[in-house]
Amino acid sequence: MENTQSNILHEEAQHHIVGGVNSPSRAYKGVGGGTPVYMQRGAGPYFYDEDNNKYIDYLAAYGPIVTGHAHPHITAAIKDQAEKGVLFGTPTALENTFAKMLKEAIPSLEKVRFVNSGTEAVMTTIRVARAYTNREKIIKFAGCYHGHSDIVLVQAGSGPSTLGNPDSAGVTKGTASEVITVPFNDIQAYKEALKVWGDEVACVLVEPIVGNFGIVEPHPGFLEEVNRLTHANGSLVIYDEVITAFRFTYGSAQQLYHIEPDLTALGKVIGGGLPIGAYGGRVDIMEQVAPLGPAYQAGTMAGNPLSMRAGIACLEVLQQKGIYEEMDRLGKRLEDGIITSANNYKMDVTVNRLKGALTVYFTNKQVRNYTEAAATDTQKFGEFFHLMLEQGINLAPSKYEAWFLTITHTDKEIDNTLKAVDYAFKKMSRC
């Protein structure tokens, strides 16, 4: 596959944009290097690079593009709104419409606020939880990504009773000392953390289905126990559903598992591909937020008409009957086909899948937490990634990310993908 234009553009980008990319995960660091492919156009499950090579897309822009690229209903809504004005700085009826749609889909959102990214949504839920509880520490699960605000850029300490270390230069030790990190799916460690830090803990931040060290589901009863123990401790439960909301069902993980947190952070899919975030939850907690309460949060672009229209249109598309079932069916075909090829070539591969999202790990072991995900073979994933890309299959360039199906993928794309997987495994098994 010829990548002349991507090479030229990436060379140019290095002169103007830090590292040539506007988000580090777009560089191919996690897959042994290479030039990122520069895309110029998307249509349904496909996109086309600057050399006009065609790819089947499983990146879905790291999650948001669940309706496929340039969905006509969403595109029409964006065009229509662009002609009417994109930003007013006043309230609009669109914000009410969209807030009501979100509340109907996710009933724990008694009140919501729109922001501009998942990062902002999570960051603000933490502020609100601190304001409500008058406590400062937070607990998070190791390896879970919650955006790039200081407080969540903190790595695991060496055990549940130790505090975190900054995961990025520029995050202060003081900030890191407010964070306790425990392994996902380990209720014993969570109990211990609460025992040690108890009345200092404002909230726990939970990705109810992990999407950031691959797709990892909670063990049965894990979320219920986290809720019970947290509330008994006088702390709040925050669900980061930036990836999970509207990915697996019309609604969020809360609807899948019949469980409710106190606060929820949203982003990605709810913007139909435009920048967005939202947070919400129990009314008495949300009333901490200005102008009603003492917790400040604001935004020039928050609730902007363009994102509202795209989000409303996206949810309208997702209300169609049967689409999540179809993504599940196609996801199962992918999973089964990948495992069959892996067995044929005696490759150690584990697939974690939930409906239309899956992760392919190069290991013969189960992956239930970050340590297990980290221990999978990075080099093999890198080889696999590049072999797939050469065959026109675009995956996320990291072993920790998911493959995301869209409502526009069909059996044809799955067949072609499985052929490419088979070829890649065959080549890898001979090296």
Count of residues that interact with ligand PMP, criterion CB under 6 A: 15
What type of residue sits at position 271? G
By the rule CB under 6 A, 146 interacts with ligand PMP = yes
Closest distance between ligand PMP and the C-beta of residue 59, in Å? 12
The smaller minimum CB distance to ligand PMP, of residues 179 and 387, is found at: 179
By the rule CB under 6 A, 117 interacts with ligand PMP = yes
Site track 274-313 with ligand PMP (rule: CB under 6 A), x = hit: ----------------------------------------
Residue 185, both tokens: 């799916």
The residue behind tokens 């996710």 is 106
Dihedral of the CA atoms 332, 337, 342, 343 (nearest 10)? 100
- Cα distances from 239 to residues 145, 184, 204, 400, in angstroms, run 12, 14, 8, 20
The smaller minimum CB distance to ligand PMP, of residues 164 and 337, is found at: 164
Closest distance between ligand PMP and the C-beta of residue 86, in Å? 19
If 0-12 CB within 10 Å is exposed, 13-18 middle and 19+ buried, where does residue 294 land?
exposed
Q: What is the side-by-side strand order in the sheet with 350-354?
A: 350-354, 357-361, 403-404
Neighbours of 195 (CB within 10 A): 12
Cα 229 to Cα 192: distance, rounded to the nearest angstrom: 11
Neighbours of 265 (CB within 10 A): 30
Closest distance between ligand PMP and the C-beta of residue 402, in Å? 10
By the rule CB under 6 A, 243 interacts with ligand PMP = yes
Closest distance between ligand PMP and the C-beta of residue 211, in Å? 6
The smaller minimum CB distance to ligand PMP, of residues 117 and 341, is found at: 117
Among 178, 207, 328, 401, binds ligand PMP (CB under 6 A): 207
CA-closest candidate to residue 264, choices 251, 248, 273: 251
**CB 139 within 8 Å of CB 240:** no
The smaller minimum CB distance to ligand PMP, of residues 242 and 387, is found at: 242
By the rule CB under 6 A, 143 interacts with ligand PMP = no
By the rule CB under 6 A, 402 interacts with ligand PMP = no
Closest distance between ligand PMP and the C-beta of residue 149, in Å? 9
| SS3 (DSSP) at 289 | strand
Q: Which stretch binds ligand PMP (CB under 6 A): 116-124, 283-291, 311-319, 362-370?
A: 116-124
- Cα distances from 59 to residues 41, 47, 170, 401, in angstroms, run 14, 11, 30, 9
Query: What's the per-residue H, E or C state across 182-200?
Result: ECCCCHHHHHHHHHHHHHH
By the rule CB under 6 A, 118 interacts with ligand PMP = yes
By the rule CB under 6 A, 401 interacts with ligand PMP = no
Residue 53, both tokens: 């090579």
Residue 171, both tokens: 């995050």
Q: Which of residues 209-228 bind ligand PMP (CB under 6 A)?
A: 211-212
Closest distance between ligand PMP and the C-beta of residue 268, in Å? 6
Q: Which stretch binds ligand PMP (CB under 6 A): 36-44, 140-148, 329-337, 411-419?
A: 140-148
Catalogue the active-site residues. Answer: 145, 240, 268
Binding site for ligand PMP (CB under 6 A): 62, 117-119, 122, 145-147, 207, 211-212, 240, 242-243, 267
